[in-house]
Amino acid sequence: MTEMPILPSRVIIAALALFALALVVGIAMPARAQSFENLERLDSLVAMTMGANRGEPGGPIAPVDRRLRLAACPTTPNVEGPQMSAAIVSCPAVGWRIRVPLAPIGQAPQAATAQNSAASPALPVIKKGDPVRLIAGNEVFSVSRPMIADEDGVVGALIRVRQDARATPVTARVEAMGVVRAPAI
């Protein structure tokens, strides 16, 4: 049996064909695009839930660390707190949870009259189930929407309100009887 010698040109052509195949496969299968959670969105959610912007008493001390690469949450992340001087932001669907440090809230000013200094609890001006008007805006513009209170609230307290029983609740600050305002807007 005689062996046929492999010509150098065939080796080069075979190598080029393998290289071309690898190149085509690399182009046909692009790297999976990784999507990360929008950290500015998390900053806004924390400020809105806590009722204070960054640097204000009760608000976040600093923005969420921009080095974090959190998996994108398919739903709106949960913001809870304050707990131990921090807001807890989590996404149960994906499984991440972070702490956002909050600025300390200063002491409330002392009451000027003896009647106000008596230790009497403030009466709620909004009761659970009451219809309320949610206002969002500033000096230049405002919009409002009818909502239903999910909990009792005194003037200045943060309560949850929602459009209907199935809607996601929104945190709002009680301003007066039947009126709440979306904080940090």
Query: Which DSSP string corresponds to 17-62?
Result: HHHHHHHHHHHHSPPPPP-B--HHHHHHHHHHHHTS-TTSTTSBSS
CA-CA distance, 142 to 119, in Å (whole number)?
A: 36
Name the amino acid, one letter, at 121. Answer: P
Mean pLDDT of 25-38: 62
Q: Which tens digits make up the pLDDT trace of 48-75?
A: 888 888 888 888 888 888 888 999 999 9
| pLDDT per residue as tens digits for the range 136-154 | 887 777 888 899 999 999 8
Intervals of CATH 2.30.30.760 along the chain: 122-181
User: What percent of the chain clears pLDDT 90, i.e. is strictly above it?
Assistant: 19
- Which pLDDT tens digit goes with each residue over 92-128? 999 999 999 888 876 443 333 444 444 446 788 888 8
Q: In whole numbers, what is the pLDDT of the chain averaged over residues?
A: 79
Taking the mean position of all CA atoms in its chain, how far away is CA 184? 13
Question: 3-state secondary structure string, 85-130?
Answer: CEEEEEECCCCEEEEEEECCCCCCCCCCCHHHHCCCCCCCCECCCC
Q: Are 140 and 130 in contact (CB under 8 A)?
A: no
Contact 152, 137 (CB under 8 A): no
Q: What end-to-end distance do the CA atoms of the chain give, in Å?
A: 88
pLDDT score at 4: 60
Torsion of CA 173, 90, 34, 61, to 10 degrees: 60
Which helix (DSSP H) or strand (DSSP E) does residue 87 occupy?
Answer: strand 86-91
pLDDT on residue 115: 44
**Number of Cβ atoms within 10 Å of the Cβ of 54:** 15
CATH of 122-181, one of 1.10.287.610, 2.30.30.760, 3.30.70.100, 3.40.30.10: 2.30.30.760
Alpha helices, DSSP H, located in the chain = 8-28, 39-50, 114-117
